[in-house]
Chains A and B, each alone.
Chain A
Amino acid sequence: MAETDGATASVEPLSTPSTDATSVSATAKPPPETQESIWLRRSVIVSFWLVVVLLGLPVWWKTTAIYRAELPLETMGAWAESKVCQPAFPLKVAVEAPIPAQDAQHLLRDTQHSLDELNDFSAHRLSLLLADAPFVANASQQIVTDGIAVDVSHDEDIALSVRLVPVETGHTPRSLLQPYSPRLDVYYGPSQLPTAASTGSPLATYIAEELHKLFGEEQALLAHLLSKTPGPRAPVAKRLSSGIIAELEHRSTRALKYAPTYHLTFSLFTPINIPSDWDIESALQRYMSPFLDSLTGIHNFTIDTQVQLYSGYTPTVRPEFDEQSKSWTLRKEDLSGFINAAEWPLTPSIGAGPTVNFVLYVPDRSQSPLVVKETGGNSWLVPQWGGVVILNPTEADEAAPAIMTREALAPAMHTFSTQLMSLLGLPQSPGCLPLRISTLVRVRAASLLFSASSTLGALARLYNALPSIPIPDKVAKSVDLTTEHLQLACDSLKEGRFHSALEHARVAEAEAEKAFFERSMVGQVYFPDEHKVAVYLPLLGPVAVPLIMAALKELQTTIRNFKARRSS
């Protein structure tokens, strides 16, 4: 406010200076102004006004405008309503058959036919193709369990290869799914091969049914995902029974939100001072890393570990001693309160990603064994958070080991890896890890696609709803990148290149988040127009009044002079 004092003090004599020149003694009649002083006064007034108009107004316009970059609102809305992309999941299944190409083609056609008839989810389609490298028949007699037999195709986008193996003995047709290689071995009797004339051979039907079964869960997952997005999807979506929906819903509440990197925290808590150390590094190396490595295409993991001594569970939880089983039991209601959130230093905020907690609790010997009353088990999973295992010291450890060996940790690690799988949303069937992982790739790609699209929609609605928020160019750029990568992801999905689809969807999601959470997009704090008067007036008022008054006065005299001249 002092500013205005200073300003007025010096502005007033300046903007109305020439009045001094016209001052007169109180008694004398004012003499006529000289032409020169009139010119001088006018030019001074004009010079001030020129500064105001030529510089002041543009400054005002430029500095008080809220910059809002153009966003492709319609495109964004279209993505959000799933009008742009109808995701499809065409899966390639390679078939290796030790039979002449003609017969194989025939079998393929039959199988494809019955497969299509079985399928009620048009967005997810299995298409069979004949593997080019023929399979060597005599190697087929032994069952390959090690799972390292090289896949016929080096194409990563082949979802599954079906290998036909002729056998003479045993029940045919029967199939065996390799647990660690995306391969289904089908054993058939020589008679079951379709002949050129016949249609609908039992072998073809059998293979079709097996394949359909294998991808049943994946179809359900994808259909569920599709059904939750807005837009015209009804004809594509597969009907799911309410039971399955509930189960899928339940699973989605358990699984963690997708993140490119997860931080795994392994913590050892004990109410006493033993065990004071654990051989966690080698245990993780041995029991966890193979599993984590198999997921590298989808997630990265960072790991930290901690040992906390004298850290009991929540004091309000009181296990009861069960005489029958000679064990301390925790009721199921206690489990949710078991984690001592107030005392245990969990979720350490290390690293970029969300934390998954794995808690290993070693109870005091006086309270061991400690088990869950209802199930008799010693572990539980906390949805979207992590898992807990109670590791009761065994009788053999009577010597109170201060250090837990790798072997002692093995059962806990096993439980943790199971829990992690379920927390990551890995589907539960089929019994073949590569297949489940590739299903996860598809599901994650689709869900990222949807979430990035919905973020775009949210941003577009926000853009319209809150005009006071500035939108920098960075946001527009991110939005463009998002739509570009969404389109790429969508195309990749349709072409069956799921890894690249995931890659693009991931970029799209990251860019969409970046656009939505742009730091400078915090709106001007609500500022009603009457407040603006309070901001402008105290400062500009005192400056403006002499300026305006001088200009008005000058106008008045000009008009009066003009009139006087007209009348004379």
Chain B
Amino acid sequence: MKLLLAGLIQLLLAHHALSEHTSNWAVLVSTSRFWFNYRHLANVLSLYRTVKRLGIPDSQIIMMLPDDMACNPRNIFPGTVYNNADRGLDLYGDNIEVDYRGYEVTVENFIRLMTDRVSEDMPRSKRLLTDDRSNILVYMTGHGGNEFLKFQDAEEISAFDLADAFEQMWEKKRYHEMLFMIDTCQANTMYSKFYSPNILATGSSEIDQSSYSHHADNDVGVAVIDRYTYYNLEFLETHVRDASSKVTMGELFDSYDPQKIHSHPGIRYDLFPGGEQEARKRLIMDFFGNVQSVEAEGAGRVNATEWEEDLRAIERMVEEAKRRHNATLAAAPQHASVIEEVKVMEGKRHVATEGAVRVDAAEGWSKQVVGFASLLGCAAIWVVGSWLEAR
């Protein structure tokens, strides 16, 4: 026991100042399908690769890809997706986890994901299980317009929907800080309606401006990446080399060059606490990486025998508690637990009726008799009716 305590105290001493968030999540969304939108999927896969490189585990990345470029019959490099004509890096690699694919990428599913209003049987890997200590990176790309972004040519999400979804997240304390990044035409209009605090937003182009692709790969046959994403990635690749990087968001924003991007990227600071100054001071790693603060523990030698004695004591204590609990239960049944037991019983009975049952064809002629009787009944009514009419 003493040793347990000693360990705890060491833990206590070992701690140092923490950054304010404890987990990082990324929601990466491409909203367009079909081969000629190859670049949108490449955008998302590039971002995916980057955040994974910087330490966000797959379980905390929600990726929505409406199409599978790697397996598209038009892809002359099957099984691969590239974001550069030099084809140096296969984004598809061998370890890609797409959470929402194909026709699952819809406005409704996106909003459900953000607000966590999903069905009970939704696997945890497809849910955004964030809390008030989570930083979220939301990256979206596709075809859009003034205050809307198209999803799969079938529907669209409006800036209002997005703002309301984020507000619901904020109300339920589902994020600590959020970086919203969008690469589409007139992208800056998409974040103009946000009203929830702690969001830092950036987009590729102003209202009435298009967002352009960077370059095409002549062998792939289509554009492979968008300009805004390309220069973001270039910065991240060259300046943020590993998880210990101290590069700030301000430096990233300063690297945006409208000359190169061919549109005017926008940044919205006003929702962020402390405004522009504070926002620019945030580290890239606060959103793109997963800096887990760790608490190193000292090298305590364990006295095995003493510890085993402790464990035995705990065991006895538990047994004792159980015994006493049962005794009180027997004496005066506790309210809550009784209710619970009843529920369990009901559940079991339910299962018994709902479960798989062997079904056999009915024996005998009862069905036929019923059929014959009803047929006869109808015929009788008919005959009686005709007789009455004939009279």
The reply to whether B15 and A290 contact each other, CB–CB distance below 8 Å, is no
Known contacts A462-B171, A525-B161, A378 near B117 by CB under 8 Å: no
Asked whether, in the complex, the Cβ of B118 is within 8 Å of the Cβ of A335, the reply is: no
Indicate if the CB atoms of A525 and B107 lie closer than 8 Å.
yes
Pick the residue among A349, A434, A461 that contacts B59 (CB under 8 A). A349
Closest CB-CB distance, A478 to chain B, in whole Å? 14
A247 and B129 alpha carbons, distance in the complex (Å): 26
A537 smallest CB distance to B (angstroms) = 20
- Report whether A382 and B167 are in contact in the complex, using a CB–CB cutoff of 8 Å: no
Docked Cα-Cα span, A179 to B8, in Å, equals 15
Q: Which residue of the partner chain B has the closest CB to A524?
A: B161
Minimum C-beta distance from B92 to chain A (A): 14
* Contact of A422 with B11 in the complex, beta carbons under 8 Å: yes
Interface residues on chain A, number (Cβ under 8 Å): 82
Given the known interface contacts A336-B243, A380-B294, the answer about A341 and B55 at a Cβ–Cβ threshold of 8 Å is yes
A447 within 8 A of B: no
Of the stretches A17-25, A267-275, A369-377, A559-567, the one at the interface is: A369-377
Residues of B close to A257: CB separation below 8 A: 131
Q: How far is the CA of A433 from the CA of B168 in the complex (A)?
A: 40
Q: Is A500 an interface residue (CB 8 A)?
A: yes
CA A341 to CA B292, docked complex, whole Å: 12
B-chain residues with CB within 8 Å of residue A72 when the two chains form the complex: none
The reply to whether A410 and B304 contact each other, CB–CB distance below 8 Å, is: yes
Inside 8 A of A431's CB, which chain B residues have their CB?
1-2, 5
**A410 neighbours in B (Cβ, 8 Å):** 302, 304, 307
Contact B107 A458 (CB under 8 A): no
B133 interfacial contact with A, CB 8 Å: yes
Q: Does B282 interact with chain A (Cβ within 8 Å)? A: no
| B369 CB-CB contact with A under 8 Å | no
Instruction: Evaluate contact between B7 and A418: CB separation under 8 angstroms.
Output: yes
Of all chain B residues, the one with the shortest Cβ separation from A417 is: B4
Interface positions, chain A 332-366, Cβ under 8 Å from B, are: 332-333, 335-337, 339, 341-343, 346-347, 349, 354
**B89 at the binding interface (Cβ < 8 Å):** no
Q: How far is the CA of A500 from the CA of B334 in the complex (A)?
A: 9
Residue of chain A at shortest CB distance from B163: A526
**Which among A335, A518, A522 has the highest number of chain B CB atoms within 10 Å?**
A522
Q: Evaluate contact between A428 and B8: CB separation under 8 angstroms.
A: yes
Q: Which chain A residues (391-405) contact chain B, with CB distance < 8 Å?
A: none
Contact (Cβ within 8 A) B164 A466: yes
Which residues in A have their C-beta under 8 angstroms from that of B277? none
Across-interface contacts of A523 in B (CB, < 8 A): 111, 161, 164
Residues of B within 8 A of A343 (CB): 95
Within B1-42, the residues touching A (CB, 8 Å) are 1-5, 7-9, 11-12, 14-15, 18, 22-23
B356 adjacent to chain A (CB < 8 Å): no
Does B239 reach chain A (CB closer than 8 Å)? no
From B3, B4, B123, B294, A349 is in contact (CB under 8 Å) with B123
Q: In the complex, which residue of chain B has the Cβ closest to the Cβ of A289? A: B315
CB–CB A333/B244 < 8 A: yes
List CB contacts (< 8 Å) of B303-329 with chain A: 304, 307, 310-318, 320-321, 324-325, 327-328
Q: Are B161 and A526 in contact (CB under 8 A)?
A: yes
Q: Which residues of chain B are within 8 angstroms of A294 by Cβ–Cβ distance?
A: 314, 317-318, 321
From A43-51, A107-115, A146-154, give the one contacting chain B.
Answer: A146-154
**Interface status of B158 (Cβ within 8 A of chain A):** yes
A377-B300, A384-B23 known; A500 and B335 CB under 8 Å?
A: yes
Is A2 interfacial (CB-CB < 8 Å)? no
A415 CB contacts on chain B under 8 angstroms: 7, 297
**Docked pose: A410 CA to B310 CA in angstroms:** 13
A181 contacts the other chain (CB 8 A)? yes
Q: What is the distance, in angstroms, from A464's C-beta to the closest C-beta of chain B? A: 11
A375 touches B296 (CB 8 A): yes
Contacts of B304 in A (CB 8 A): 410-411
CB distance from B111 to the nearest CB of A (A): 6
B11 touches A250 (CB 8 A): no
Q: What 0/1 pattern do residues 176 to 202 of A give for CB contact below 8 A with B?
A: 000111000000000000000000000
Q: Find chain B residues with CB under 8 A from A439 CB.
A: none
- For residue A90, CB closer than 8 A to chain B, the reply is no
B216 interface residue (CB < 8 Å to A):
no
- State whether B15 touches A250 (Cβ < 8 A): yes
State the CA gap A454–B3 with chains docked (Å): 39
The A-contacting residues of B in range 327-346, CB under 8 angstroms, are 327-328, 331, 334-336
Would you give 7 A-B contacts (Cβ < 8 Å), ordered by A? A247-B12, A336-B292, A342-B57, A372-B296, A383-B292, A519-B118, A521-B117
- Identify the B interface with A (CB < 8 A): 1-5, 7-9, 11-12, 14-15, 18, 22-23, 52-53, 55-59, 95, 107-108, 111-112, 115-119, 123-125, 129, 131, 133, 155, 157-158, 160-161, 164, 167-168, 171-173, 242-244, 290-300, 302, 304, 307, 310-318, 320-321, 324-325, 327-328, 331, 334-336
The 3 A-B residue pairs whose C-beta atoms are closest, nearest first, are A341-B57, A458-B171, A347-B59
